[in-house]
Amino acid sequence: MPRTSTKAEAPVRRLAPDYRLEDQVGFLLRKAYQRASSNLVERIGSYDLTAPQYATLARLYERGALSQNLLGRLVAMEPANIRDVVLRLKKRRLVATRRDPTDKRLILIDLTAAGTALVEQLIPIETECTATTLAPLKADERGLLYELLSRLAEG
Amino acid sequence: MPRTSTKAEAPVRRLAPDYRLEDQVGFLLRKAYQRASSNLVERIGSYDLTAPQYATLARLYERGALSQNLLGRLVAMEPANIRDVVLRLKKRRLVATRRDPTDKRLILIDLTAAGTALVEQLIPIETECTATTLAPLKADERGLLYELLSRLAEG
DNA sequence: CCGATATTGTTATGATCATAACGATATCGA
DNA sequence: TCGATATCGTTATGATCATAACAATATCGG
């Protein structure tokens, strides 16, 4: 008997023959996010903004000045990551930073006039982009998706 | 009239006063994926595997040897990205590569015996992890979420 | 046959992402 | 008051991610 198969490999006995990657929510969520992010970049990419950068600007627009740390939590970014994003936005003069006078640990971030104007220009585009992403869903399904995703995100 | 406000800032007139970041699917999807990914790393992180790395191994387990490019498409990764993942897995001897004899452009990737054994060890853990991620949802809501996410991902 | 076209893998660049370790500052409780 | 504890921002490391440009190989049409 030859040590290596000649014509056909011996059939491999698999312990999990019916496992499917598609059954894992994480994989589906990753693909869906890729699609949403891609849709956004297609439309606002010409402004040289990424999805996380837009989220950061939008959050500042909603809430006004925030400490860097709180801002990070409100856009779901770790301290190390929000720092880099803020640095890039600051370099482009879309946000400005100042020290909190009462708590010397904090750095307060706020939109500049240019940043505010840009957000107001982008909001309708982003809303349109969300509609594009949701296009495969019927109206009643969209609200349901929000409900389900919100609960998943909270945990 | 002073050029700078003294006591209170003049109320800023916002063009989109009721805009909410939470209404954008992309943002919700990103947060939900963060949660799912975090759940996975909590459980398989001790194996020094990330979610994309696990997905790559799992896909190879499902389909057998694949070209690097096709493998990338099947796990939703760009050619440049799947390359790096394969390199890391190869360095750990979880996958092996060989050239396709008929098409000299292709690199065929396959699980090693160690890689196969690892996947079979991880599959039940991953399945359990998916259950954890889906815990906030009732049974009938889970199937619905899959349906909606699949349609979103396809576009 | 053979040149235009397409596909595969690589390289480079820049932007997330998560984690751990660290100094500086605040806060809380004994 | 003062020391333990917590929070904030920084630094470093390593792993995704997307995009563009490129060489090598296949494929297709005339």
For an interface test with B, the pick among A20, A28, A40, A63 (most B C-beta atoms closer than 10 Å) comes out as A28
* Chain centre to alpha carbon of residue A142: 19
Q: With CA atoms as reference, report the closest residue to A152 among B95, B115, B134.
A: B134
Strands (E), A4-111: 66-67, 95-99, 107-111
pLDDT of residue B2: 44
In this complex, the nucleotide whose C1' atom is nearest to the CA atom of residue B41 is C18
Domain assignment present for residue B118? The answer is yes
**Count of residues making up chain B:** 155
Domain assignment present for residue A93? The answer is yes
Which residue reads 């880099």 in tokens? A84
Contact assignment for A27 to B154 by CB distance below 8 Å: no
B49: which residues sit within 8 A by CB, 6+ positions away? B57, B122
For an interface test with B, the pick among A24, A127, A128 (most B C-beta atoms closer than 10 Å) comes out as A24
Nearest CA in chain A to B155: A136
pLDDT of residue B5: 40
Domain assignment present for residue A67? The answer is yes
Domain assignment present for residue A37? The answer is no
| Rounded-to-integer distance, Cα A67 and Cα A78, Å | 13
Nearest-by-Cβ selection for A137 from B12, B15, B151: B151
Nearest CA in chain A to B29: A33
pLDDT digits (tens, 9 = 90+) for B100-139: 999 999 999 999 999 999 999 999 999 999 999 999 999 9
Q: How many domains does chain A contain in total?
A: 1
pLDDT band at A4, cuts 50/70/90? very low
| Rounded-to-integer distance, Cα A23 and Cα A28, Å | 8
Residues B80 and B142: beta-carbon distance below 8 Å? no
pLDDT digits (tens, 9 = 90+) for B39-82: 999 999 999 999 999 999 999 999 999 999 999 999 999 999 99
Domain assignment present for residue A124? The answer is yes
Helix (H) or strand (E) holding B110: strand B107-111
Output the domain CATH number for residue B107.
1.10.10.10
pLDDT of residue B15: 85
Domain assignment present for residue A25? The answer is no
Q: How many CB atoms lie within 10 A of CB A66?
A: 21
pLDDT digits (tens, 9 = 90+) for B16-42: 888 999 999 999 999 999 999 999 999
Angle at B39 between CA B33 and CA B43, to 5 degrees: 145
Write out the residue range of the structural domain in which residue A101 sits: 47-149
| Rounded-to-integer distance, Cα B68 and Cα B84, Å | 11
Pick A17 or A51 by higher pLDDT.
A51
Domain assignment present for residue A58? The answer is yes
3-state class of A42 per DSSP? helix
Helix (H) or strand (E) holding A133: helix A113-133
pLDDT digits (tens, 9 = 90+) for A97-143: 999 999 999 999 999 999 999 999 999 999 999 999 999 999 999 99
Q: How far is the CA of A86 from the C1' of C3 (A)?
A: 52
Q: With CA atoms as reference, report the closest residue to A87 among A109, A106, A104.
A: A109
* Max CA distance (Å), chain A: 83
| Rounded-to-integer distance, Cα A107 and Cα A87, Å | 12
Domain assignment present for residue A22? The answer is no
